[in-house]
Chains A and B, each alone.
Chain A
Amino acid sequence: MDKVVHEADPSVVRIKEAAEKFVTNVSKVIVGKKETIELVLVALLSEGHLLIEDVPGIGKTMLAKATAKSLDCSFKRIQCTPDLLPSDVIGIHYFNQKNCEFEFRHGPIIANVVLVDEINRATPRTQSCLLECMQERQLTVDLETVFLPRPFLLIATQNPIELEGTFPLPEAQLDRFLLKIRLGYPSEDEEKAILSRFQTESPLDKLSSVIESKELLELQGLCRQVYIEESVSSYVTAITRATRSHQDIKLGASPRASLGLNLASQALAAIRGRNYVIPDDIKQLAVPCLAHRLIAKTEARLRGRSVESIVGEIVSAKPVPVED
Chain B
Amino acid sequence: MKLDWRQGILYVATIGTEGCWLYALLVLLNEQVADGRLSLFGLLLLYPLSFGFNLLLRRLWSRKVSVLIVSWLAWAVAMLLTLKFQLFGNLAFADTAWLLATPKAIAGLIHGFKPELLVLLSSAALWWLGRRLAYLRISFATSVGEFQFGLVILVITIFVASQLKVEQANSVPIALAFFLFALLGMSLAHAREGKSWLEGLHRGRWAGLLLASIGLIVVLGLLISSAVTPDFLQLILDALKRFWALIMKAIAFLASLLPEPGPAEPVPPISVPAPGTSESEGFRWGLPESVRAALRTGWGIVFVGLIVFALWRISTDVFARLRRKLASMAGAEVEPLSGAFKADFLNWLKRILLKLLGVRISFRIGQKSKSLLPEIASVREIYRRFLQWAAAGGYPRRSSQTPYEYLHAMSTLIPESKEQLSFITQQYVDVRYGFSLPTENDLAQLRQSWNEVAQKRLKRQSTG
Selected from A6, A274, A278, the residue in CB contact (under 8 A) with B402 is A278
Cβ of B69 under 8 Å from chain A: no
* Contact call B435/A320, Cβ cutoff below 8 A: no
Q: Please, which residue of chain A has its CB at the minimum distance from the CB of B438?
A: A4
Chain B residue at minimum C-beta to C-beta distance from A275 = B434
**A316 proximal to B (CB < 8 A):** yes
> When each residue 271-286 of chain A gets 1 if its CB lies under 8 Å from chain B and 0 otherwise, what string results?
0001111111001000
Whether B90 sits at the interface, judged by CB under 8 Å, is no
B 128-165 contacts with A by CB, 8 A: none
A302 within 8 A of B: no
A1 at interface, CB cutoff 8 A: yes
- Say yes or no: B435 contacts A3, CB within 8 Å: yes
Is the Cβ of A320 less than 8 Å from the Cβ of B436?
no
Determine whether the beta carbon of A276 is less than 8 Å from that of B402. Answer: no
Q: State which of B384, B399, B435 has its C-beta within 8 Å of the C-beta of A227.
A: B435
Q: Are B387 and A323 in contact (CB under 8 A)?
A: yes
- Contact present for B439 and A318 (CB under 8 Å): no
Inter-chain contact B384/A323, CB cutoff 8 Å: yes
Within A288-324, which residues are at the interface with B (CB < 8 Å)? 315-320, 322-324
Question: Chain B's nearest CB lies how many Å from the CB of A213?
Answer: 30
Given that A232-B433, A276-B435 are known contacts, is A323 also in contact with B383, CB under 8 Å in the complex? Answer: yes
The answer to whether B433 touches A276 (Cβ under 8 A) is yes
Contact status B435-A322, CB under 8 Å: no
Q: A232 — which chain B residues lie within 8 A by C-beta? A: 433
- B412 CB within 8 Å of chain A: no
Q: Does A5 interact with chain B (Cβ within 8 Å)?
A: yes
Selected from B384, B405, B434, the residue in CB contact (under 8 A) with A280 is: B405
Q: Do A5 and B383 touch across chains, with their CB atoms under 8 A apart?
A: no
A103 CB within 8 Å of chain B: no
Q: Does B380 contact A (CB under 8 A)?
A: yes
B403 at the interface (CB under 8 A from A): yes
- Evaluate contact between A319 and B405: CB separation under 8 angstroms: no
Q: Are B435 and A1 in contact (CB under 8 A)?
A: yes
Q: Are B434 and A2 in contact (CB under 8 A)?
A: no
A315 to B401, CA, bound (A): 10
User: Are B436 and A322 interface neighbours, CB within 8 A?
Assistant: no
Q: In the complex, what distance in Å separates the CA atom of A227 from the CA atom of B435? A: 8
Residues of A within 8 A of B405 (CB): 280
Distance in angstroms between the alpha carbons of A324 and B404 in the assembled complex? 16
Q: In the complex, what distance in Å separates the CA atom of A283 from the CA atom of B373?
A: 29
- Given the complex, which residues of A lie within 8 Å of B383, measured CB to CB? 323
Contact B400 A319 (CB under 8 A): yes
Please report the total number of A residues contacting B with Cβ < 8 Å: 26
Known A232-B433, A276-B434; contact A316-B400, beta-carbon cutoff 8 A: yes
Chain A: CB-nearest residue to B401: A320
| Interface residue B218 (Cβ < 8 Å from any Cβ of A) | no
Pairwise interchain contact B436-A3, C-beta atoms closer than 8 A: yes
Q: Report how far A277 CA is from B400 CA in the complex, Å.
A: 17
Complexed CA–CA distance, A279 and B400 (Å)? 10
**Residues from 402 to 439 in B contacting A, C-beta threshold 8 Å:** 402-405, 428-430, 432-437, 439
Contact of B397 (CB < 8 Å), options: A2, A274, A279, A322 = A322
The smallest C-beta distance from A35 to any residue of chain B, in angstroms, reads 16
B400–A6 contact, CB under 8 A?
no
B381-402: CB near A (< 8 Å → 1, else 0) gives: 0011001000000000101111
B404 in contact with A280 (CB, 8 Å): yes
Chain A contacts of B404 at CB under 8 A?
278, 280
Query: How far is it, in angstroms, between the C-alpha of A318 and the C-alpha of B398 when the chains are bound?
Result: 10
A229 near B: Cβ within 8 Å?
Answer: yes
| Chain A positions 226 through 268: 1 when the CB is less than 8 Å from some CB of chain B, otherwise 0 | 0101001000000000000000000000000000000000000
The docked-state distance in angstroms from the alpha carbon of A1 to that of B400 is 27
Q: How far is the CA of A229 from the CA of B439 in the complex (A)?
A: 21
Closest A residue, CB atoms, query B429: A278
Offer 19 A-B interface pairs, CB within 8 angstroms, sorted by A: A1-B435, A2-B435, A3-B435, A3-B437, A4-B437, A5-B436, A227-B434, A229-B432, A278-B433, A279-B402, A280-B402, A283-B402, A315-B400, A316-B400, A320-B400, A322-B397, A322-B402, A323-B380, A323-B428
Residues of A within 8 A of B (CB): 1-6, 227, 229, 232, 274-280, 283, 315-320, 322-324
Question: Which 9 pairs of residues, A with B, have the shortest CB-CB distance?
Answer: A276-B434, A319-B399, A5-B436, A279-B402, A323-B384, A4-B437, A280-B402, A229-B433, A278-B433
For the A-B complex with A1-B435, A323-B432 known, give 9 more contacts whose Cβ atoms are closer than 8 Å: A5-B434, A5-B435, A6-B439, A227-B434, A229-B434, A274-B434, A275-B434, A278-B402, A319-B400
